[in-house]
Amino acid sequence: MQPQILLLKEGTDTSQGKPQLISNINACQSIVDAVRTTLGPRGMDKLIVDSNGKATISNDGATIMKLLDIVHPAAKTLVDIAKSQDAEVGDGTTSVVLLAGEILKQLKGYVEEGVHPRILIKAIRKSLQLCMEKINEMAVHIEKQSEDDQQRALLEKCAATALSSKLIHQQKDFFAKMVVDAVLSLDDLLPLNMIGIKKVSGGSLEESQLVAGVAFKKTFSYAGFEMAPKSYNNCKIALLNIELELKAERDNAEIRVDNVKEYQKVVDAEWQILYKKLNKIHESGANVVLSKLPIGDVATQYFADRDMFCAGRLPEEDLRRTLKACGGAVMTTANDINASVLGQCEYFEERQIGSERFNIFQGCPNARTCTLILRGGAEQFLEETERSLHDAIMIVRRTIKHDSVVAGK
């Protein structure tokens, strides 16, 4: 008797044919039913609690699909559909999931009757072709040379449409203008990472503002920062990836000294290294010092005495955006710092917004960038507002890049 050859891992399900197809369709159907109620202006939000106990309230299809812990492999394809729609278009994530589910529902009867999947796929491809022809027929083409006011009005309508089914639909006119201003303030390539979104709890939604430049929350500060100036005209910015503080020895190093003088020499050497770095930074002519790593109390005091502003522990994305907008280079050593590696901007100030202090750089010469500062109540509400604005921003970008729009019903 021939021995049995195991090709697949034990416990592998190898079901196939009609029952498996119907099982796949049913799994997709149950996912569709979970997100169906979020669609449209009267759609309801979902409250999803993950395994860590973090609650998320959202109306965004892609966000809900990511948070659902889906195990069924066929149903997972719906998550991928939502993700690709979110990355490519930005809005309509719930719609694509529902549309896919509805097509599968219509095909289920044919599968039960024994129609071969190849024939069904051929039919779907044919229907896709007909849909594309019809959409192109209905599309309204935008003349690129048309007046700016007309184009702006159209972009605002697109943004307002994207926001009409969101949590902030009552303020859609206010946010539509802000989103269009944000996208139009960018360079020709419309890079999404040059629009920063910051959230400040408290205040009303109407207190949200658009800053034409880079803005980020004030980072952790040591004593001495109060003495530093809070605004500069034509400022020079040093961008660093250097730790400017005295550190305790990390490794198990051992230094044996037999008298106090020797010990003093070790301490003095440490201070000298720090002061050498600080002198180099000061001599380069920088007014504002930003570092990804901590800037300690000695350095903060040193800079404040010389009318320089400093901020340490800056998030990577903010440092990158400042680098792109203001120019210069991120330095990992203080030895090579000179005027040629400093960034520049026309105006810098530290401003109080709600309960937070913000560092704002305006008039950046290298790349055009902007920051949306959102105000509102609860943290979850602000997170949902950010997701809604992301959708609207994506739609406005897409409308500018492509020259036709199809009106929805």
DSSP β-ladder status, 288-291 and 231-240: parallel
List phi, psi (to 5°) of 390. -60, -45
pTM value is 0.78
Structure tokens at 37: 């109620």
Gap between the Cα atoms of 116 and 151, Å rounded: 48
Six-digit token string for 213:
């430049």
pLDDT of 130 reads: 95
pLDDT of residue 90: 81
Helix, strand, coil % over all residues of the chain, rounded to 5: 50, 20, 35
Place of tokens 């930005």: 90
Return the amino acid letter for 207: E
- Cα gap 91→82, rounded to integer Å: 10
Which residue, 163, 21, 33, 47, is CA-closest to 98? Answer: 33
CA distances from residue 370 to 46, 132, 178, 191, 192 in whole angstroms, order as listed: 31, 36, 11, 11, 10
Structural domain boundaries in the chain: 18-138, 142-212+373-405, 223-248+259-347
- Tell the burial category of 230 from Cβ atoms under 10 Å away from its Cβ (0-12, 13-18, 19+): middle
Backbone φ and ψ for 199, nearest 5 degrees, come out as: -115, 135
State which fold the 18-138 domain adopts: GROEL; domain 1 (1.10.560)
Domain covering 223-248+259-347 in this structure, CATH number: 3.50.7.10
Which positions of the chain have pLDDT values less than 70?
1-6, 8, 10-15, 143-147, 248-252, 408-409
- 405 beta partners: 140
Residue 202 is classified by DSSP as: B
Strands (E) in 74-157, as ranges, are 140-141
- How far is residue 166's CA from residue 162's CA, in Å, rounded to a whole number? 8
Nearest to 217 by CA among 402, 54, 373: 373
The pLDDT value given to residue 226: 78
**All residues at 6 or more sequence positions from 367 whose CB lies less than 8 Å from its CB, including other chains:** 187, 194, 324, 325
| pLDDT (0 to 100) of residue 248 | 63
CATH code 3.30.260.10 for 142-212+373-405: yes
How far apart CA 224 and CA 233 sit, in angstroms, is 22
